Each structure stands twice: as structure tokens, then as C-alpha cells.
Amino acid sequence: MASSTGLLVVSNIKHLGKSLRAIEKYVNSLYIHLNVTGSTSTTSPVPPPPVWGRLVSQLYANSSSYVGNQLDLRVLVSPLRPGASGSLKLRQPVDLIFSDAHHPELCDRLRADLNISKPTIFLEDSIISDLGAQQDDTQPPKVYPSVVLGGTFDRIHLGHKIFLTQAVLRTCKRLVVGVTTSAMTKGKTLPDLILPVEERIARLREFLMDIDGTLQYEIVPINDPFGPTQVDPDLDLIVVSAETLRGGQKVNEVRSAKNLRELEIFVIDMVESNVHDGIHETKVSSSNTRIDLLGSRWRRPEPRPQLPPRPYIIGLTGGIASGKSKMGERLANMGAHVIDCDKVAHDVYEPGQVCYTRIVQHFGKGIVSDDGRIDRSKLGPLVFADPKQLQALNGIVWPELIAEVNRRLDVLRSQADVPRVVILEAAVLLRAGWETNCHEVWSMIVPPEEAVRRIIERNKLSEEEAQKRLASQVPNSEIVAKSHVIFSSQWDHEFTQKQAERAWKMLTKELDYYQSSL
């Protein structure tokens, strides 16, 4: 299916599942236009937007059970406002209009507004609407000139859509949104996979302008939990989740201390996740979205025309104690040929090798054990305690190491049965600049505190020594920036295995497609 956008006029919420399942084969992005004018009598005044809040939340929450996350749904708020009789303007061009009831006049007006030549697809012949019964009379239908809310808003999901739409419904003039910067996201799950704050702000603005372009939006980065609420005297209402209610109350404490008017607080219930595996959060969240990115295509690989297409070389890297070797074993079990650069390095450290002589000359005979070999347990403290010494060691070893790797790759290429995929497992891959020797980079990451715990346990080092080892590594943020597939072993072995299987299945499919197109 080509990428296309539709608009569904909803008059009957009970038909939503049936409508979405019928539509999903035509479009992958869908606006929802609630036909509230058809649900009230012509003599009744149009109710204020907040009365539709419960319906909007129900619609978003139910949609995922009908069609999963395959459709990007956006419920339009601007048509819900009293006096909203002007031309409808949307940011995306709409290809098709659908309606779950026979309201040709409304649909023809929307077709004219959106310049759609194709006829409306009526999913039902009835003209009956059940939206009137969906009005929420449990909450005061009050709207406010200035509403504020905050969050991380990483990759907008249906929980965000509900949160943001509830705020928009309660605003009649200005919506202020605080978006957390990296200073506030370090404690989140997989923080290095969170989009830059500038991109999150841009996506937020696009979504908000799309659902209601009549409001004034002020979307600002925040480095603390209070943001504009601690200085803006004109704010009226703060929208929070049940999870962040205490934060909303704290905002009022800060405002009161600064002689600013306290805000009314509107609380939204969390949307429960339908995945219960002990790894994902129990609520719909950006953390779950990031977890689901593991083992998938994070970025498209850059062309490597200088590399022969076979074997397809994947650089596998990651920080110390991140689980690289175990991931290499997993991929080997799936059919990859693994070159472990750490083992190759042991070979080039052997007596008689160029590296051996130069390392001993530089660091002295004190690093040589009784059997004449370099004792890495003696060499390690020297280089991890002094960046200049580490740089000197790398300058000796890296050129010889990559030369030996290339010799081994040439041997593999000369064989009658050339391996389809070679995994080049190398902790130094990115720091040494070897990513250009690979078709793409797959990486392992774990939180720094988990890496330190593993180093202490595995290497029997003190916490200070473990921290020094970690400080000498490429940071996770830099690893992520240069990776095409990302794994994390911070959960159980079974979940890491699932990530590996997902990536291998994706790679196999891509290589099959590439070879069939030759």
C-alpha cells in the first residue's frame, strides 16, 4: 500500500472498530472528524469542547485494539469548537474521505475544503448518530485562556495523543508545553535512544497544529520540572497524568511561594499497555516505544561501494561489559561467521609479532610474564590510568589488528563457499574508525551503572577501577549515533535473544531482496 492519508467522519462510535478495519487497507494515516453537529438538535447550542474529552480518549484507546498501531490516528479538535463553520485546513493532503453514516452534505463540504476529487466512501447507509450520548457530564465543561503541560514526548504515541488532546480541548487561546531536555531524561529507560529535544518539539508542534490550528502554541525546552510555570503569571490550568499529579501540586507550591496565582489541575488517567512481560512498562509509554526499537532498523546503512557485497560485514561493538561476545555467539548460532577482534589481538600480542616487540619496548619488561608473553593484567592498569599511554598502545596495536582482520577476510573471500554474513566483533570499532570497513554497525548498550556492576563482578575490580575502565570507552550516545541496529542486554537473556532473532530475520529478508534484484 502506498503512503496515503484519509479522513473518517465518525457519527457512530459503536461502528469504530468495523470502520477502522475496513479503512486500514486504504490508508496508513487517518484524521478523525467527529460529526458532533449531527449528534445535537439544530436548535441546541454546540457544547463546549471538553464534553467530548471522554469520547476522544475512548476512541484513541480502543483504536489500538482494533488495528494495533498500524494507523496514525489524529482526532481533529477544531471542528468541535462552537462557531467552527469555517473551511477545514489540514497540514497533510487527504486522499480519501470515509463516513460511517450517510451525511453527504458534510462530506461534500469537506471534499471541497480539502480539494478532494474522489467521491466519499460511505461505510453505512444510516443517518443516525450516537455521539450525543457520549457527552461527558461528569467534568465541568470549562475552557481556559492559558493551559500548560509538560513531558518528554519522545515519539508521539496514543498516550501522548490523549494527553495533548485533553489539554487542547480545555484551551481557548494559548497552550504552553514544556519539553524536557537531556538534563532531565538521563534516568529514563534507554535515554540514549530519546530523540533530540529540537526534533521532539518540531513533532509536537506539527501534531498540535494538525489537530487544531486555531490556538497559539508555545513549546519550550525545560531543564527542570517547573519550566514556565514558575514565572508565567497568565497560566490558568495545568494538565497532568495520575502519575504526575504530585508534580502538578508541587508547581502550585512553587507558584504560591512566588506570589503567582495557583493553577487549576486536570488529571488524566494513564492508558494501560497490552504487553505484560515484566520488561515493558504497564502503561503506554515512550519507554516501551524505545524498547520496541531494539533489534530493529535504527538507521539505514550508508552505501559502501568499496566493499564486495559478499560477505556482508557487520561491525558488532559496544562498551565494556555490554554483552558483545554473547551477542556474537547468538549471531554465530544463526549462521554468521564471527571474527572476534579481541582474540585476534591476543594473536598479534604473541612473542615474535611486530606488536609484541613494540609494546615491550614502550611499556618495559615489567609487563612480560614468566612464560615470555605479555601479561594483560599488568598492562591494563598502566593504560586505563593514563589516556596518553592508552593512546600509545592503540597506535601500536590497531594498525596491525585491522591488517590481520583484512587478511582473514581475504581468506574467507577466496573460499569456494564464501560466508554470507561476517560479524566483526570489536570493542574499538568506532574509536579506531573501522566502521568504514563494514557494511553496517550493530551495537550493544547497557546503562553505565549496570556496566560498572558487571565489571566489578566479572573483573574483580574496585568501583573506582571499574569507573576508569568505563570512562575510557566510547559513550553510549556516540555508539547510538553511529549504529544501524541497537541491542541492550540490561534485561533477561531471553529478551536479548528475541532482539537478536528480530535483527537476523530483518537482515536475512533484506539480503534476500537485494540478491533477487541483481
The pLDDT confidence band at residue 426, using thresholds 50, 70 and 90, is very high
396 touches 359 (CB < 8 A)? yes
pLDDT of residue 96: 94
Report pLDDT for 1: 47
Residue 267 reports pLDDT greater than 80: yes
Instruction: Give the pTM.
Output: 0.88
Q: Which amino acid is at 201?
A: I
For 24-39, what is the mean pLDDT? 87
C-alpha cell at 435: 566502521
Strands 96-99, 121-122: pairing kind: parallel
Between CA 481 and CA 187 the distance in angstroms is: 19
Q: What is the pLDDT of residue 139?
A: 73
Mind listing the pLDDT tens digit for each residue in 222-263?
999 999 999 999 999 999 998 899 999 999 999 999 999 999
What pLDDT shows up at residue 135?
86
Average pLDDT, the chain: 92
pLDDT-based confidence at 87, cuts 50/70/90?
confident
Nearest alpha carbon to residue 27 among 98, 84, 83: 98
41 pLDDT higher than 60 = no
Instruction: Give the H/E segment covering residue 342.
Output: helix 341-348
- Confidence grade of residue 89 (pLDDT, cut at 50, 70, 90): confident
* Residue given cell 554465530 in the structure block: 332
pLDDT at 395: 93
Mind listing the pLDDT tens digit for each residue in 125-184? 888 888 888 888 777 789 999 999 999 999 999 999 999 999 999 999 999 999 999 999
Which of 170, 150, 154 lies closest to 248 in space, CA to CA?
150
Domains in the chain, CATH or no CATH each: 1-138 (3.40.50), 142-293 (3.40.50.620), 301-336+419-517 (3.40.50.300), 342-418 (3.40.50.300)
pLDDT, one tens digit per residue, over 111-129 is: 999 999 999 999 988 888 8
pLDDT value of position 252: 97
